[in-house]
Amino acid sequence: MATKERNYGFTLLEAMIALVIVSVGMTAVYTQLNRYVISTAYLEEKTLASWIASNQLTLMSTALQWPSIGTTQGEEEFARRLWIWRAEVAVTPIENLRRVDISVSLANKPELEIHTMSALLEPPPPPNFPPVDWSSVGNAEGFSFSRDGAGGNTDNETASGDADTRGMGDSG
């Protein structure tokens, strides 16, 4: 009697098909990781450029003189990169407002604007205008801040914390 020997395992064709399927899957994973790295780098540049534009707008809005109408540009080193910003100041139909458009790009790619920010600026205060004492804001009578961050009194407490009995049957 002849016994038939049975082989267990994969044929060469089955192994090659499995390798093709794995390689297609790995290519898809590699492509997605590459897209992730590219988008992360782009978002980092976009965030840094928005900070530069925001800083320039803040400098313009806090300056002692109104920015002149026209285009201004400058360079700034930020996050170990050299950036170029360009500000265009224009008049608006409202007399006491000027529109500012700031665009930011990397110095090695000045033609590629990474971020643009716009704002309306009002004129600076007059020379003898008293500065605002921000430490007194929020400390009006009847309202206080505590060290733990909770602020304000209830409607029936005074600034000293005593119960306010006005309107509760008092005639005086």
| pLDDT-wise least confident of 79-83, 105-109, 165-169 | 165-169
How far apart CA 10 and CA 15 sit, in angstroms, is 6
How far apart CA 51 and CA 95 sit, in angstroms, is 29
Contact 88, 57 (CB under 8 A): no
Write down the pTM of the prediction.
0.63
How far are the Cα atoms of 56, 67, 84, 122, 169 from residue 99, in angstroms, in the given order? 14, 10, 20, 9, 57
Q: What is the pLDDT confidence band of residue 29, given thresholds at 50, 70 and 90?
A: very high
| Average pLDDT value for the chain | 84
Name the H helices within 63-145.
none
Structural domains of the chain, with CATH? 15-121 (3.30.1300.30)
